[in-house]
Amino acid sequence: RRVTCGRFHGMLSRESADELLGGAEGAYLVRESQRQPGTHTLALRFGHQTLNYRLFYDGKHFVGEKRFETVHDLVTDGLITLYIETKAAEYIAKMTTNPIYEHLGYTSLLKDKMGHRLSRRRTEPHRVTFQREDRKITTSPLVRHSTLKDCPSEKQSSYDKIHNFKVHTFRGPHWCEYCANFMWGLIAQGVHCSDCGLNVHKQCSKLVPSDCQPDLRRIKKVFSCDLTTLVKAHNTTRPMVVDMCIKEIELRGLQSEGLYRVSGFSEHIEDVRLAFDRDGEKADISANVYNDINIIAGALKLYLRDLPIPVITFHVYSKFILAAKMPNPDTRLEAIHEGLLLLPPAHYETLRHLMMHLKK
């Protein structure tokens, strides 16, 4: 019997599906499973055998991670992948053994971009100096005692950032920027970093180092943007929102009653947010535009509240809560010390600056 590819054949056994496909390579059909009634199976001929996959539908068809508008597209992509993985298995296994990542493409471009940015602006982080009794001790990057002072460091911090990879469909031929090999498939051939634009195979993405350098052209907003992504994109130690708001508050708001307790007008706070999203570090938050300092304080609170990952990150938060419940002061201090060590550098520096500000 001749099979119409893609036709639904109702409830069939595996043996019946195999007979219907008739050994034609690339032929396929959809059947209802006898073993699990109500579920559907894609039967596909490849490599002189019939392969059976559980078929799902949530608005699009899928058997794995990739989702397709039609079963035909799913099968086409599957045949490409099966052919590549079957005929070039040894080659694929060796793809990542001699990557070009360190020599060509993104890494070279990254060095050029960083050199250009560093020549335009030099921002230096801080070390922390603390005093206890008559001894002065300098530590970096830890704050362990109550008296804090700023000290410029001798070299610029380097914040590691993982790439923000997302499955991506490339139009036309595309090559991996890690291993320099072809990215095959009909759709979702690889992953794309939405912060820096790096394109690699999904399997290669696990080997790419945490050296993402976000491109300002790809950062659409300031508020609700990942903290480390923002500071790396702008080549700053802390988010400019934190620095600019704190500077403005300390300039004209330290004598204001109810600072951080009294709310500013929500419409004006929203205006400040839009100004940062639109103008970045050029946003004007001076008294000439926002006379009420509570608007600036409210904008800073909104920025911290909207962070996708809080300043005190999710995985460290519970450690600070446990530390706060410890009755012994020395044990509590050591537990807080250990929690601080777990914070990403940009988060630590932001928290340190906020604590110094709140102390002031």
Please report where in the chains the tokens 């599957």 appear, as a residue: 78
pLDDT of residue 222: 92
Give the range among 81-85, 273-277, 331-335 with minimum mean pLDDT: 81-85
Strand partners, 40: 32, 55
21 in Cβ contact with 3 (< 8 Å)? yes
Tell me if residue 30 falls in helix, strand or coil.
strand
pLDDT of residue 261: 93
Q: Stretch 333-351: mean pLDDT, rounded?
A: 93
pLDDT of residue 357: 96
Give the range among 12-26, 32-46, 126-140, 226-240 with minimum mean pLDDT: 126-140
pLDDT band for position 34 (cuts 50, 70, 90): confident
Could you tell me how many helices (H) and strands (E) the chain has, helices first?
A: 12, 11
Tell me if residue 200 falls in helix, strand or coil.
strand
232 in Cβ contact with 213 (< 8 Å)? yes
Give how far the C-alpha of residue 61 lies from the chain's centroid of Cα atoms, to the nearest Å.
27
The C-alpha atoms of residue 27 and residue 51 are separated, in whole angstroms, by 11
For residue 173, how many C-alpha atoms fall within 13 Å in the half-sphere facing its CB?
3
Which sign does the torsion angle of CA 9, 14, 20, 25 carry?
A: positive
pLDDT of residue 116: 46
Pairing of strands 135-139, 49-57: unpaired
Give the range among 69-78, 101-110, 201-210, 323-332 with minimum mean pLDDT: 101-110
Q: Stretch 195-216: mean pLDDT, rounded?
A: 85
Nearest of 268, 215, 223, 259 to residue 242 by alpha carbon: 223
Percentage with pLDDT > 70 across the chain? 79
pLDDT of residue 302: 96
pLDDT tens digits, one per residue of 119-160: 444 344 433 333 333 334 344 334 333 333 443 333 334 677
